[in-house]
Chains A and B, each alone.
Chain A
Amino acid sequence: MTQESAKVQKSKVKSQKSIPPYPTLIILAILAVLPLTGLSSYMMHIFILVIMWAVIGMAWNLLGGYCGQVSFGHAAYFGVGAYTAGILYSKLGLSPWWGIPLSIIVVALFSFVLGFIVLRLRGPFFALATLASGEVMRVTAENLQPLTGGTLGILVQERTWIVKTWYYYVILAIAAGTFFLVKKLIESKLGYYFVAIREDQDAAESLGINTTLYKTLALCISGVLTGIAGAFYTNYMGYIDPHVAFALHDISIITIMIVMVGGVATFWGPFAGAVIMVLLAEYIRSMPGLGAAHQTLFGILLIVIIIFLPNGIVGDFPKLKRLLGLRSASQ
């Protein structure tokens, strides 16, 4: 493929010209003061979901966008994280908040083992194997009734806070941490290794890059970050069951959509994608008359974005700007 080299060039330029920290800080500052503006609890809920999805999106982006290992099974990590928190609560009587630190260890081990199996595969085969792993975890959680409560799920009797503000700051802190971690990783030598593996694994191997090591590393970090989001979900929603925590469509696929729509291999892509996916879904869904058709509209939007903005809103932002600019000029 001839486009390959151009792509390498492009992505290199992208990561070299690292974004100056100001916009990042400004956005973070805006997000930090947001709860002080007296938003309704409903809006806070939506923002919490947006940020949670952004975390999962950034985690996926590390593995899929930068390292090129497109996973269709991020629900597995999300679910394991969520169940770590849930089982701590239901079996050991601990606060589900312990799930967040503990899920780092549990999910890291889990991703390591899973990575050992699935990372031998490439491209579509890797995608399918991860897809299967998510489903296997779901059915396993259903059948391990003594531990997981089976399909009855785990219900956290009393959530820590009624006000959303603190949940918001917790997930914002997780998101900020994830953002800077991903940024640091990608801008380090590791990031170049990841991109090299994405562009041509055999070439990377021949250049002396230990692809297995770096792929496993990317998978573990990505899995752990997703798992933390899962543990947060248990705390925040207070209820999980296998269909919710290991959902193929509602988690694995939505995650990919968020990143693809926002922009693969961009720092802000997952965030933009999460904003669009969550807010737009919520908005269209509650519009009278259109509500029933929201999945159709969403599907069409997705198709349009993929065909016309294949690198997502952020990745193709210049193109988008040009398109919008043209339209206003002709009017």
Chain B
Amino acid sequence: MTPVQLEVFLQTLIAGLLLGGLYALIGLGMTLIMGVMKIINLAHGELMMVAMYIAYWMFVLFHIDPYLSVFIATPVLFLLGAAIQKFLINPMLKVESILPENQVILTVGIGMVLANLATLFFKSDYRSTPVDYATSAFYLSDFWKASPIELSLSLPWAVSFIFAVGITIALWFFLARTDTGKSIRATAQDTDAALLMGVNVKMMRVVTFGIGSGLVGAAGCLFLPIYYLFPSLGGQFTLIAFVITILGGLGSTVGAIIGGLILGVFESMTATYIGMGWAPVGRFVVFVACLIFLPGGVASLLKKKRFGK
């Protein structure tokens, strides 16, 4: 391998891992929601868009850095998500219908309303937060003068990645150590059993949807400095979240992280070595292959236990 080829490979790998970390955070919210409620939430990306608008306006009006907005947007999104579950999805689960997939269409409706309201209020302008550090980066040659290859690490991408890791660890602790977290996991594993054990399943659903929304809200804030914002941005991230959820295994935190990283690296490698136009195909091929050959996702390999039948 010539130095140039090595440089291309390593730089691609770095890009893939950074992207994967952020993808994982988007996927985490969905994996929780799908794991606990078996609900396909097609409004996931739109919730992220809402959080991004919150972070954007915080930046424009009060000069609050998007990274600090994580602490504002996440609680707001938690409330929004909880409200959606309590006032829209819970009542719908009660009504009798032939197909259980009604709820998917409900989330489509919610997504439509959110995206269109954003267009009405904020116009369809593309926006971004022009932070000073947007293009700052660390370069290998700055640390190691004689380096035969040049690698770079973007500052905002790295910060977003670290934030994502931090949030993931916090979530893992919450699910593993707290009572609420344990109840959520119990609901995910067996709703009826959890009900018998005295878990307030309805409440847990509301909390879970709230946390799921809060997580994707945090992801939105972390994406803002490196990406941009417009009302109809949600769709593509919803799809990415699905892929990660399936890749990682429903309801599995660790699975979502590994799934996100795999997807990030896979997409980057496809872009470099096959062609960027094909990257989305690769994404869905991995997805379908995983559905068929590894229905429990990465989590099933880790735990030898199958979720989400």
Contacts and interface: CB of A to CB of B under 8 A. Distances in A.
Asked if the two chains touch in their complex, CB atoms less than 8 Å apart, one says yes
Nearest to A260: B105
Contacts of B38: 123-124
B90 to A, nearest CB: 10
Contact of B105 (A118, A265, A292, A302): A302
Nearest to B99: A264
Given A124-B38, A136-B281, A143-B281, A293 B101 contact: no
Q: How large is the interface on A (under 10, 10 to 19, 20 to 34, 35 or more residues)?
A: 35 or more
A300 B88 CA distance: 11
Contact of A128 (B40, B92, B109, B119): B40
A131 B242 contact: yes
Contacts of A293: 116, 120
- Which secondary structure dominates where chain B touches chain A? helix
B97 A303 contact: no
Interface in A196-219: 198
B292 interface: yes
B288 interface: yes
A127 interface: yes
A294 B281 CA distance: 33
Given A70-B99, A307-B91, A128 B242 contact: yes
B72 interface: no
A52 interface: no
Contacts of A191: none
A166 B108 CA distance: 36
Interface in A206-260: 248-249, 253, 256-257, 260
A11 interface: yes
- Which secondary structure dominates where chain A touches chain B? helix
Contacts of B42: 253
Interface in A239-287: 248-249, 253, 256-257, 260, 264-265
B287 interface: yes
A64 B99 contact: yes
A311 B98 CA distance: 7
Contacts of B110: 299, 303
A296 interface: yes
Nearest to B87: A307
A132 interface: yes
A64 B112 CA distance: 23
A296 B46 CA distance: 13
Given A65-B99, A303-B109, A139 B280 contact: yes
A135 B239 contact: yes
Nearest to A311: B97
Given A265-B98, A302-B109, A135 B117 contact: no
A117 interface: yes
A237 B285 CA distance: 31
A121 interface: yes
B198 interface: no
A143 B161 CA distance: 32
A65 B98 contact: yes
Interface string B255-292: 00000000000000000000101101100110110011
Given A7-B98, A303-B88, A257 B108 contact: yes
A265 to B, nearest CB: 5
Contacts of A68: 99
Nearest to A253: B108
Given A121-B295, A139-B278, 19 more contacts: A3-B96, A65-B99, A121-B291, A123-B38, A129-B288, A129-B291, A132-B242, A132-B284, A133-B284, A139-B280, A249-B235, A256-B101, A264-B98, A298-B112, A299-B110, A300-B113, A302-B105, A302-B108, A303-B106
The 6 A-B pairs of least Cβ separation, nearest first, read: A299-B112, A310-B97, A295-B116, A299-B113, A302-B109, A132-B284
10 contacts: A3-B96, A70-B101, A125-B295, A127-B101, A264-B99, A295-B115, A296-B120, A303-B110, A308-B95, A311-B97
